[in-house]
Amino acid sequence: MGFTRAELESYRGASVADLMPEHPRLVFVGINPGLWTAATGTHFAHPGNRFYPALLAAGILPRLPDFANGMTDEDRRMFLDAGIGISNLVHRATARADELDRSELREGAARLERDVARWHPIVVAVVGLTAYRQGFDRPKARAGRQEEPIGGAELWVVPNPSGLNAHATVADLARAYAAPALAAGIVAKPPAG
């Protein structure tokens, strides 16, 4: 599946529904949907995004979903059955996350806290340190487990898998994503290497 620039631009401002099991154990929270994500209705869908390859490398997923073309019902079921959810801080689709302003991120953080209290996951992993710092007003936060919980859940901050964060390899991302998955009981041990 491919899109023209004009087709992608038509999705600016659209939202993508949360992928949320009835009883989530681990919820990954992206910054906001990209235009490719909005076009396919699948979180982290851009073909260059390393989110799903990192989940596979971490042992969180048993196989790679067809994310760039939009997940199948079977792909979605794989997440739901594992107790893994996906949401966003801000639901408005943009071409780049830096198009969001700080107030949108702060409003998103407040909404996320309410959502997490309703979902009752064990662990929440915010995907993107800068967005976390701005949205939660924690300018000195570091990646990893945070001292403050969110909505009763353990809170982690992990690296953004976007191709714009090119210094982080799939192996680096896999190690970072395995830690909250281990805390949530999704994986039994961290990936080798």
Listed by start position, the domains of the chain span 20-183
Q: Which ranges in 43-161 belong to alpha helices (H)?
A: 51-57, 73-82, 102-119, 129-135
For residue range 154-163, list pLDDT tens digits in order. 999 999 997 6
For residue range 139-185, list pLDDT tens digits in order. 999 999 999 999 999 999 999 997 666 678 999 999 999 999 999 99
- 87 CB contacts (<8 Å, ≥6 apart)? 18, 19, 20, 27, 28, 29, 30, 112, 115
pLDDT at 48: 87
The answer to whether domain 20-183 has CATH 3.40.50.12780 is no
Mean pLDDT of all residues in 112-127: 98
